């Protein structure tokens, strides 16, 4: 029996040692966590879009997913990305998350040309590939002239390369192939433009000038022939025989303040006959009433096969009144030197050269919000251009001045804290015997000067910190040309200060600034409360004088302002 007990004791001791030792732990069934390694056998790649604008404002999100052969996603799998064609990317993690995915944001990079970008995701021996297109580059052309004489020299074709939002694509390689007129290559200038100068072939016929830039191709047709005129039967601009128009796109363009021609508007004259068919070879000269010049100068521009004669208006450094630039297109069936010649007809349109934005407005709903020991009032700021269109992304800078502070107190009467002052023209609403005193900081330096301390209380009244102005959210206007600001002040300061709110958009001209002046408001609920409000007595003193001075700065300070009480 003793041997049996000893054996049992040894067996139990061994089990206990097995459970508590550091070698091989013992675990009852279902009582221990086990860790298994799951291996991904597939890697897929999905893009958020099949194409993206070349403006650079948008990105494509590439999502890589690691999974097993059974379709279960796997976390913690290392994944690397790569892109080509000058694109860039940012991955949000080096490994897949708990859902088995990892994302990368792919941008087009500095290259804004139309092209295809390929994204590759790799994890060990696994890889996945997906591609998206970059689109938006446009290449336009204008031939000057569109009809050239055989062997004529210094003929020109103007090319302009722009991105999806109409911004010029600068320093982009461009190649031109023009058959017998030769070839050329170069780069676009600061306006996205390139001029091909050529000598016409010696034989008559059609000449195609083909340019390639930004991943797009543009074909400009030029007729090599002796001078051709438009048949009289196809004269446009009469009720019976057709129509003609001239237009500007955009109709509001910013000035070119610095050296360069980055800002421009496309001016297009369109000629149609009575059958609404395009009239080619119409001779057009463009003129403007100041504020800028044309890319084609005063040279004749011939309408193309689509009946269009196109040039670019390049503003100068000055802004114009609304619709203050008159664009005149003089045209004729035959060549002409002056708009005053017989047979020459003129058509006009207008545009505006304006800095963005031109007009700023500030307003409020007048409601006073009760904060934590403070009162708050909100204001809306609107920014538009001279045409009244909302301007987004305009930086608004608010500031506040405190021209006047008031002395006085409130009394309770008729269920509200009211004023006994009867002169509504000189008394702030709800004040009893107020005295309006000008800001002692005459030059707004923020520093105490004894000579400016009118009431001799050892400080400058009012304190600049008595009212705070700030933006709510972004300091820039949204897509509706709107942003919101607020003023906040301690409750006991309410109604005892006159404020002047200034908002500025930092542009030239007085309409780039707007002001709002009023007295700090207090909520009607506190005015009608039975308990004394925080603003019952002015923090700047209480004067019992019956004199009620105006708060008009033109009247100047009054004697009670010299009292410290």
pLDDT tens per residue, range 483-523: 999 999 999 999 889 999 988 874 544 457 788 999 999 99
Whole-number pLDDT of residue 207: 87
pLDDT in tens, 193-209: 999 999 999 887 778 89
Q: Which is it for strands 216-224 and 147-148: parallel, antiparallel or unpaired? A: parallel
- In this prediction, residues 296-301 reach a mean pLDDT of 81
Whole-number pLDDT of residue 243: 80
Distances from the Cα of 420 to the Cα of 431, 469, 492, 537, 548, angstroms: 7, 32, 20, 14, 11
CA distance 525 to 541: 24
Omega before 357 cis (within 30°)?
A: yes
pLDDT in tens, 119-175: 999 999 999 999 999 998 989 888 877 778 889 898 999 999 988 878 889 999 999
- In this prediction, residues 297-305 reach a mean pLDDT of 80
- Give the CA angle between residues 164, 169, 174 to the nearest 5°: 115
Whole-number pLDDT of residue 262: 65
Helix or strand holding residue 488 (H, E): strand 482-490
User: What percentage of the chain has pLDDT greater than the value 90?
Assistant: 36
Whole-number pLDDT of residue 384: 86
Whole-number pLDDT of residue 203: 83
pLDDT in tens, 373-400: 999 999 999 988 777 888 888 888 888 9
Whole-number pLDDT of residue 356: 62
CATH topology classification for 234-353: Immunoglobulin-like (2.60.40)
pLDDT in tens, 56-67: 878 999 999 999
- Give the CA angle between residues 270, 272, 275 to the nearest 5°: 160
554 or 560, greater pLDDT: 560
pLDDT in tens, 320-349: 887 889 999 999 888 888 899 988 999 999
Closest CA to 255 of 355, 169, 368, 364: 355
pLDDT in tens, 410-462: 888 888 887 544 333 334 433 344 567 888 887 675 666 666 777 777 888 89
Does residue 298 surpass a pLDDT of 50?
A: yes
pLDDT-derived band at 11, boundaries 50, 70, 90: very low
Q: What strands, in cross-sheet order, belong to the sheet with 301-302?
A: 252-253, 345-353, 325-332, 283-288, 301-302
Omega before 291 cis (within 30°)?
A: no
Does residue 5 surpass a pLDDT of 70?
A: no
Domain boundaries, the chain: 42-135, 138-224, 234-353, 359-562
What is the three-class DSSP state of 117?
strand
Does residue 467 surpass a pLDDT of 70?
A: yes
For 340-365, letters b (16+ CB in 10 Å) and e give: eeeebbebebebbbbbbbbbbebebe
In the CATH scheme, what is the code of domain 359-562? 2.60.40.10
pTM of the model: 0.45
Whole-number pLDDT of residue 449: 66
Are 42-135 and 138-224 equal in CATH topology? yes
Whole-number pLDDT of residue 375: 96
Does residue 34 surpass a pLDDT of 50?
A: no
What is the three-class DSSP state of 47?
strand
What is the three-class DSSP state of 187?
strand
Using an 8 Å Cβ cutoff, are 195 and 217 in contact?
A: no
Range 42-135: architecture per CATH: Sandwich (2.60)
For domain 138-224, the question of CATH label 3.40.50.300 is answered with no
| DSSP per-residue letters across 142-164 | EEESSEE-TT--SEEEEEEEE-T
């Amino acid at each position: 029996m003793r041997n049996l007990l000893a054996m049992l004791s040894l067996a139990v001791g061994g089990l206990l040692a097995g459970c508590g030792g550091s070698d091989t732990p013992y675990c009852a069934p279902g009582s221990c966590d086990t860790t298994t390694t799951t291996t991904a056998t597939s890697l897929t790649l999905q893009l958020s879009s099949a194409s993206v604008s070349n403006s650079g404002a948008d990105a494509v999100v590439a999502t890589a997913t690691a999974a097993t052969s059974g379709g279960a996603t796997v976390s913690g799998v290392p994944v690397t990305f790569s892109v080509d064609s000058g694109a860039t990317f940012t991955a949000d993690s080096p490994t897949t998350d708990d859902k088995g995915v990892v994302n990368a944001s792919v941008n087009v990079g500095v290259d804004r040309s139309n092209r295809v970008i390929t994204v590759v995701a790799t994890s060990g021996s696994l890889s996945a590939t997906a591609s998206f297109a970059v689109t938006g580059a446009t290449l336009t052309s204008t031939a000057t002239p569109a009809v050239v004489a055989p062997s004529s020299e210094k003929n020109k074709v103007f090319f302009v390369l722009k991105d999806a939002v109409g911004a010029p694509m600068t320093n982009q390689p461009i190649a031109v192939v023009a058959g017998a007129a030769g070839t050329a290559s170069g780069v676009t200038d600061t306006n996205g433009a390139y001029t091909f100068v050529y000598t016409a072939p010696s034989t008559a016929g059609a000449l195609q000038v083909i340019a390639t830039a930004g991943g797009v191709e543009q074909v400009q047709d030029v007729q090599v022939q002796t001078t051709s005129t438009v048949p009289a039967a196809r004269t446009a601009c009469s009720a019976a025989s057709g129509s003609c128009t001239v237009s500007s796109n955009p109709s509001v363009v910013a000035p070119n303040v610095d050296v360069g021609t980055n800002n421009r508007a496309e001016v297009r004259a369109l000629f149609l006959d009575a059958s609404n068919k395009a009239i080619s070879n119409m001779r057009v000269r463009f003129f403007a009433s100041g504020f800028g010049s044309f890319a084609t100068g005063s040279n004749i521009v011939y309408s193309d096969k689509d009946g269009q004669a196109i040039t670019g208006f390049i503003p100068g450094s000055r802004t114009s009144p609304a619709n203050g630039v008159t664009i005149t297109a003089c045209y004729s069936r035959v060549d002409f030197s002056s708009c005053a010649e017989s047979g020459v007809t003129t058509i006009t349109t207008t545009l505006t050269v304006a800095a963005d934005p031109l007009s700023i407005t500030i307003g409020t709903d007048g409601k006073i919000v009760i904060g934590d020991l403070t009162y708050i009032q909100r204001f809306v700021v609107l920014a538009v251009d001279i045409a009244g269109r909302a301007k987004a992304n305009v930086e608004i800078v608010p500031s506040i001045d405190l021209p006047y502070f008031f002395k006085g107190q409130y009394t309770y009467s008729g269920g509200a804290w009211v004023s006994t002052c009867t002169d509504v023209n000189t008394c702030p609403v709800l004040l009893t015997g107020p005295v309006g005193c000008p800001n002692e900081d005459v030059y707004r330096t923020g520093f105490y000067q004894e000579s400016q301390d009118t009431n001799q209380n050892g400080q400058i009244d009012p304190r600049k910190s008595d009212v705070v102005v700030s933006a709510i959210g972004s300091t820039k206007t949204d897509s509706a040309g709107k942003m919101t600001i607020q003023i906040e002040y301690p409750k006991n300061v309410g109604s005892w200060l006159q404020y002047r709110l200034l908002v500025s958009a930092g542009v030239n001209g007085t309409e780039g600034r707007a002001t709002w002046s009023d007295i700090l408001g207090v909520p009607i609920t506190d005015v009608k409360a039975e308990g004394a409000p925080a603003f019952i007595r002015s923090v700047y003193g209480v004067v019992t004088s019956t004199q009620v001075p105006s708060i008009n700065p033109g009247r100047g300070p009054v004697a009670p302002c010299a009292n410290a009480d």
